[in-house]
Amino acid sequence: MALLQIQEPGAKPPQREQKFAVGIDLGTTNSLVATKVGSVVETLPSDDGEDLLQSIVHYGDDGIKVGREARDFLVKDNKNTVVSVKRLLGKSQSEIREFGYYLPYKFDAQLPDGDPAIITRHGSIRPIQVSAEILSVLRKRAENFSDKEIDGAVITVPAYFNDAQRQQTKDAAELAGLKVLRLLNEPTAAAVAYGLDAGAEGNVIVFDLGGGTFDVSLLSLRGGVFQVLATGGDTNLGGDDIDRLLQEWLRRKEGLLSDIDDKAVTTLNLLATSLKHRLSFEESVEYAFDSFTGVITRDELKGLCKTPLKRMTSVCRKVLRDAQLEISDIKEVVMVGGSTRMPAVRETVADFFGISPLVSFDPDKVVAIGAGIQAEVLVGNRSSDEGLLLDVIPLSLGLETMGNLVEKIIPRNTTIPVTRAQEFTTYKDGQTALSIHVVQGERELVSDCRSLGRFELRGIPPMVAGVAKVRVSFQVDADGLLSVSAEEVSTGVKAEIAVKPSYGLQASVVEEMLKSSRENAIKDMESRSLSEARVDAERLMEVVKAALLEDAGLIDPKEKSLIENKCELLTNLLRVGTSAEIKQATEDLNLVTVSFANLRMDAQIAKTLHGESIDSIVSE
């Protein structure tokens, strides 16, 4: 017998206990944590009243310091003080050396290239560990505010972070003792805060320029549904790059030698950062460095930034093109990230889109607030009906097929989470294993795309080529992380891989891949057509040659000679012929072997039925 809960008439239903969830903006320059305070989500301050935690970690003799305390060691102990660690996530040592700017750190040469561990007085420290120190401080800040343990956290990442960078962000959070509810794209987090608060409708550009990364997302906001139509960006473009341009200008201006010591470089960089910040509020600023003094104006700074500003508008143009929209289709532009305070950036955006960007939100806090709102939804404190979030993948995902061809399984800009599957088959008779090569990119040939991982499916029953059915499934979760599985349908034999590359793909490379795919579209289609023609031709010749070895006695010498001549012609065309020529020669070989194939089939049937009575066949 079922028991019913009894409630007094007019009594309020019991309130479900609210879980404690947080949103964290793990930034290149500054990091923040946000949670629900009263009826709204707000960023949480430190004991000193500062919401921003500087993303700096110092490994000292007396322990580890994070934030403002660590900043004091940038000049006097820069080799043990790590800044902008977000730029190191998911990258190899060789990729880091290609950044094109000075880093004071020494990397552990004893480790493989894919492991960019920094040598400190605390030993070899990996970027994940540095990030975890920052996240730990934010976790403690939140727990001190609530006196409760955190039930779950939403961590933000740049939209163009690849699998390796996303996975390392997630690993860092777990190392810091956080349960990750979701990795959320930073521009999308800003749109959550902006859209839910303002009730916007239409196409919105989220222009996110932080200290070390730049992202642009084009979102369609309709009835509380946030759908990312297209994304673009550069994980090596941000306020740090403008600091370096300003530092180089100061060195040229004052005739400073290129071989100044590490402490002078760090001091000069701090000066450049200070000048940039002040020029956001003043038309001109005086400076002093050692015995040098001078003045820099806001217009001079804008002139120095021509190249990065051009790169920013180029990304905006690409995003519009990907979404097949015009500038006139954009209703609003939301500015996110501390670097968008620069007048030069705001003026460039206004000129490009023809509308004044929205700057009513604190650009440093809006990402964390959006993450906090999403955390409230995911932890169950508020209905998911209040805002549905639909992200997309930035590059197509697929696998290698015969002939070095790419078969795209999930096209770029597909909404995630998503699962797609496709059936493939074996190439040779008796094949019992299948090698699966997962790739990422827009080109038609594997050699022009990026390899994500490889695995093998073994245990396929030996069958005639083309009979086995192997179902390959691609799954991209809400965090943008990919897993691939393969299953032989008849036996259920299965193999799978979680794609976790050891180092990352820079957004500049992503942009180059997209540009290359557009410029080489016609050439790629011809290359694909040629490869497909060669695969079909080679497969047919392999079957024909095997048949001639086994059953040449079924045909007369003249017919055999004709078939061999056609095979020889096709072999020559495989080296120098076009796809059309190879396809025609393949069809010709097919036609001259029809009679031979029929004779072989008749012979096989006769062999199978030899010695059987009609009665036994009928009874079966």
Assign residue 591 the CATH number of its domain.
1.20.1270.10
User: Over 60: is that where the pLDDT of 119 sits?
Assistant: yes
Banded pLDDT at 3 (limits 50, 70, 90): very low
Domain membership of residue 16 (yes or no) is: no
Do 384 and 441 lie in one domain? The reply is no
- Long-range pairs of 349-353 with CB within 8 A, sequence gap ≥ 24: 349/207, 349/312, 352/313, 352/316, 352/327, 353/205, 353/316, 353/327
Do 468 and 549 lie in one domain? The reply is no
Assign residue 491 the CATH number of its domain.
2.60.34.10
Assign residue 352 the CATH number of its domain.
3.30.420.40
Domain membership of residue 12 (yes or no) is: no
- pLDDT the model gives residue 16: 55
Do 255 and 351 lie in one domain? The reply is no
Q: Copy the structure tokens of residue 207.
A: 């222009």
Do 162 and 243 lie in one domain? The reply is no
Banded pLDDT at 508 (limits 50, 70, 90): very low
Residues 201-205: what's their mean pLDDT? 85
> Catalytic annotation on 133?
no
User: What's the CA gap between 335 and 579, in Å, rounded?
Assistant: 50
Do 217 and 71 lie in one domain? The reply is yes
> Catalytic annotation on 208?
yes
Percent of the chain with pLDDT strictly greater than 90: 22
Decide which of 518, 544, 577 is a domain's last residue.
518
> Catalytic annotation on 25?
yes
Check if the beta carbon of residue 244 is closer than 8 Å to that of residue 307: no
- pLDDT the model gives residue 5: 43
Banded pLDDT at 293 (limits 50, 70, 90): confident
Per the prediction, the chain carries an average pLDDT of 81
Do 94 and 126 lie in one domain? The reply is yes
- Of 109-113, 276-280, 419-423, the range with the lowest mean pLDDT is 109-113
- pLDDT the model gives residue 120: 93
- pLDDT the model gives residue 462: 85
Number of structural domains (the chain) is 4
Do 465 and 540 lie in one domain? The reply is no
- pLDDT the model gives residue 196: 42
Which candidate in 77, 186, 243, 442 is catalytic?
186
Percent of the chain with pLDDT strictly greater than 70: 84
- pLDDT the model gives residue 389: 58
Do 268 and 372 lie in one domain? The reply is no
User: Over 80: is that where the pLDDT of 30 sits?
Assistant: yes
User: What's the CA gap between 262 and 498, in Å, rounded?
Assistant: 41
Decide which of 392, 413, 440 is a domain's last residue.
392
Domain membership of residue 8 (yes or no) is: no
> Catalytic annotation on 47?
no
- pLDDT the model gives residue 2: 42
pTM of structure: 0.59
Do 421 and 319 lie in one domain? The reply is no
Which candidate in 36, 65, 86, 318 is catalytic?
86
Do 121 and 182 lie in one domain? The reply is yes
Do 528 and 593 lie in one domain? The reply is yes
User: Over 70: is that where the pLDDT of 48 sits?
Assistant: yes
Domain membership of residue 5 (yes or no) is: no
Which candidate in 77, 95, 208, 243 is catalytic?
208
- pLDDT the model gives residue 43: 94
List the Cα angle 447/451/453 in 5-degree steps: 145
- pLDDT the model gives residue 197: 40
Assign residue 270 the CATH number of its domain.
3.90.640.10
User: Over 50: is that where the pLDDT of 502 sits?
Assistant: no
Decide which of 371, 392, 413 is a domain's last residue.
392
What amino acid occupies position 15? Q
Banded pLDDT at 504 (limits 50, 70, 90): very low
Domain that holds residue 244: 239-304
pLDDT tens per residue, range 122-176: 999 999 999 999 999 999 999 999 888 999 999 999 877 777 788 889 989 989 9
User: Over 90: is that where the pLDDT of 57 sits?
Assistant: yes
User: Strands 56-60 and 63-66, how do they pair?
Assistant: antiparallel
**Range picked from 8-12, 99-103, 120-124, 485-489 for highest mean pLDDT:** 120-124
Do 177 and 227 lie in one domain? The reply is yes
User: Over 90: is that where the pLDDT of 82 sits?
Assistant: yes
